Amino acid sequence: MNIYTADIIILLLLISIFNNPLLNIFQAFGWQFLASEIFIGIILIVLLFLIHKYVLRKYIFKK
């Protein structure tokens, strides 16, 4: 498996796990739907970048 395939799988898992709870939290604060989805997307991309850099590169896909 390629590391980028693992990134796609992890991103899909993060979206399926965190999207609805975070959306409910941001909607409770009164944010609009589009703004909250954009912010959730930014959070998930940063989280994916951290997982890619510090977990996948160092422990799973060693060179």
Instruction: Indicate if the pLDDT at residue 54 is higher than 90.
Output: yes
The H helix count followed by the E strand count for the chain is 2, 0
Structural domain spans, the chain: 3-60
pLDDT at 60: 86
Q: What is the pTM of this model?
A: 0.85
Cα 8 from Cα 13, distance rounded (Å): 9
Q: What is the pLDDT of residue 20?
A: 96
Task: Give residue-wise pLDDT tens across range 34-45.
Answer: 999 999 999 999
Q: Is 40 exposed, middle or buried (0-12, 13-18, 19+ CB in 10 A)?
A: buried
- The closest of 37, 5, 7, 33 to 19, measured between CA atoms, is 37
Q: How far apart are CA 33 and CA 30, in angstroms?
A: 9
Q: In the chain, what percentage of residues exceed pLDDT 70?
A: 98
